[in-house]
Chain A
């Protein structure tokens, strides 16, 4: 009886994730800093899982960074998002998959606003038509791309070549999971597990053999915060938030951090470099940094993809300690080679390099 009760309550924290026919919208940060992640996502869905996923090159930024940074009005961002929906409508898609947690939050906020204030939807339709001549349907579902990987985590686990296990000791790897605030803290019903028990990354880590670390500041914001980092003098606020998390997770000796938000991945990676340059501190084991990966990069190395094809070399904190623990073989010579064999410039002062 008790289990039934828990099962019933847990079912209220689930969300419907569509199975096929996705309209994909990219993330500004991810396609710039972690381009391998989005490529991997599209490749896995199309080739390995045989799904129909479409992206339109006419898709633009959602202007979320400007909106949260107080330089873009709500009317404006509603019209920009309406244009994205118009692109999906034009191509016959009803389920939108969003690569970015900021955009995901924006879409949630706008759709909920339209539900509660239908006049804003009519105004947006009018604004979009006047500006572009386009019309749109509100999508049936909006899904974050981490939800899709979560849905297919067992299929990925079935194809795993390198599970999240220390290949020498056989112990599960200790992984920190970090959920972007805008994923489910604003509108819990849109996230797997809601705001209280966000399960989207936990499910992946456990399915692929790892161990999730529960540490005191686990649900603390990474500090991105838009306004906090846009003005240079204010970036100390942003940095201090990330540092608080690093200090809190350090005693648990994490092997890696995975995040589902572009901003969190970027800042938790780059602030480690900044802190090292400022006061020489690192938070991993043996004086190393903690590699910060996207969930697609983690899925990719679990499935045995070449880490350099996934773009792990684009991070400030290099992932070699994690790859070594998993027993993944990689070629250092190939690390900075392009597909046509050109040598890319090698960045200086990387951590773990």
Chain B
């Protein structure tokens, strides 16, 4: 039984590449190789329909997927409306709409997924 001291440790904000789970990133990259071309310019986030009204940012989502911070990805990936405007503006030709689609698929694929 965990003892209560009246205070609790705070979860670290360290990005630990040794512990993070890259399976979702690898799943997406294998099926959508253009994801490797992303330079993080943020054009996708600037044009995003969903981001106009919420805190959703496709640029942030892409970075989180790459880092393997899947807990965060899982929280926000459903906010995308799959309108595809981001794909039209991407200067590197990344099929960003498909990245979101594949990410959702990856979570379904990895059943009993745990970090």
How distant is B87 from chain A, measured CB to nearest CB, in Å?
39
Q: Is B15 interfacial (CB 8 A cutoff)?
A: no
The stretch that binds A, out of B1-9, B23-31, B60-68, B71-79, is B1-9
Q: Is A237 interfacial (CB 8 A cutoff)?
A: yes
Total A residues in contact with B, Cβ cutoff 8 Å: 16
* Beta-carbon contact of A236 and B8 below 8 Å: yes
* Beta-carbon contact of B12 and A278 below 8 Å: no
* Beta-carbon contact of A240 and B9 below 8 Å: yes
| Complex contacts, B114 vs chain A, CB 8 Å | none
Name the residue on B nearest A233 (C-beta).
B7
- Complex Cα spacing A244 to B14, Å: 9
How distant is A341 from chain B, measured CB to nearest CB, in Å?
35
Name the residue on B nearest A243 (C-beta).
B9
- Complex Cα spacing A274 to B8, Å: 10
How distant is B24 from chain A, measured CB to nearest CB, in Å?
24
Main secondary structure of the interface of A (DSSP, over half): helix
Name the residue on A nearest B10 (C-beta).
A240
| Complex contacts, A280 vs chain B, CB 8 Å | 2
* Beta-carbon contact of B12 and A236 below 8 Å: no
* Beta-carbon contact of A235 and B12 below 8 Å: no
* Beta-carbon contact of A278 and B10 below 8 Å: no
Within 8 A of B (CB), among A228-268: 232-237, 239-240, 243-244
* Beta-carbon contact of A237 and B10 below 8 Å: yes
A-contact 0/1 string along B1-45, CB 8 Å cutoff = 011011111101010000000000000000000000000000000
Pick the residue among B3, B7, B12 that contacts A232 (CB under 8 A).
B7
Pick the residue among A240, A243, A244, A278 that contacts B5 (CB under 8 A).
A278
Interface-central residue, B3, B9, B10, B14, by most chain A CB under 10 Å: B9
| Complex contacts, B2 vs chain A, CB 8 Å | 277-280
Pick the residue among B3, B6, B12 that contacts A240 (CB under 8 A).
B12
| Complex contacts, B6 vs chain A, CB 8 Å | 232-233, 235
- Complex Cα spacing A236 to B11, Å: 10
- Complex Cα spacing A350 to B50, Å: 54
How distant is B70 from chain A, measured CB to nearest CB, in Å?
20
| Complex contacts, B14 vs chain A, CB 8 Å | 244
* Beta-carbon contact of A277 and B5 below 8 Å: yes
Known A244-B12, A244-B14; contact A236-B7, beta-carbon cutoff 8 A: yes
How distant is A13 from chain B, measured CB to nearest CB, in Å?
30
Task: Name B residues whose Cβ lies closer than 8 Å to a Cβ of A.
Answer: 2-3, 5-10, 12, 14
Query: Could you jot down 11 A-B contacts, CB within 8 Å?
Result: A233-B6, A233-B7, A234-B7, A240-B9, A240-B12, A244-B12, A275-B9, A277-B3, A277-B5, A278-B5, A279-B2
Considering the complex of A and B, which 8 residue pairs feature the smallest CB-CB distances, nearest first? Answer: A235-B7, A277-B3, A236-B7, A240-B10, A240-B9, A232-B6, A239-B9, A236-B8
Q: Known A-B contacts: A233-B6, A236-B7, A277-B5. Give 12 more (CB < 8 A).
A: A235-B7, A236-B8, A236-B9, A239-B7, A240-B12, A244-B12, A244-B14, A277-B3, A278-B2, A278-B3, A278-B8, A278-B9
